[in-house]
Amino acid sequence: MAIIISQLNNATTLEYYGVSPYEVEALYSSLSRFSEVDEKRLDNSESLSLLNIEFPVPYDDNFFQSFGFDNWQRIKYILKEMKRRRGKKDFELSLSFSGSIDSNSKLVFSLTGDIGTQFEYALEKIAHMVDSINLKIKNLEKERQVIPYTYDAVIMKWVLSEKSEKS
């Protein structure tokens, strides 16, 4: 736990649009248990609701251990409730990490609310894919600045998106 906390040079970023003050406060409360939080309300979005959370640490087992099981459960619950309250309305979620064990590329998980009940399933899988995603990242070209993952509801898996940013 001390290893990852000592790596926290930056705050967790919380950007949102169309999110209620209660939801923001609940997210902020959970995120602030892990690190400082830089909160930013966006002025507009193409979506009815948009939420971006960017963690200033790599996506690895240390993150989940340091963040804490109860805290991760709380964040997932809040996100699932946000989706439930919006029903079939447009909701976009992005969870980003500052890299992985073998890469300094930004790792981004993007999810939309239009996948119905699989939204919850997709959230659950994020914590259980550390090893497989880090293995896949090892084999990618090193010049990628962003490694985007999207959830494919047909095959019920997080997949590496074809869209990538290069330096």
pLDDT tens for each residue of 96-140:
998 766 667 889 999 988 888 899 999 999 999 988 888 888 777
User: Which are the contacts of 112, defined by CB distance < 8 A and separation ≥ 6?
Assistant: 90, 91, 92, 93
- How many structural domains are present in the chain? 1
Instruction: Please answer whether residues 103 and 142 qualify as being in contact, where contact means their C-beta atoms are separated by less than 8 angstroms.
Output: yes
**Domain interval for residue 21:** 2-166
Torsion angle, alpha carbons of 124, 70, 51, 24, to 10: 150
| Predicted confidence (pLDDT) per residue in 20-53, tens digit | 999 999 999 999 999 999 999 999 878 889 999 9
* pTM, to two decimals: 0.86
Residue 116: what are its φ and ψ, rounded to 5°? Answer: 65, -135
Instruction: Please answer whether residues 156 and 121 qualify as being in contact, where contact means their C-beta atoms are separated by less than 8 angstroms.
Output: yes
Where would I find the beta strands (DSSP E) of the chain? Answer: 12-17, 37-41, 49-55, 91-97, 106-112, 144-152, 157-160, 165-166
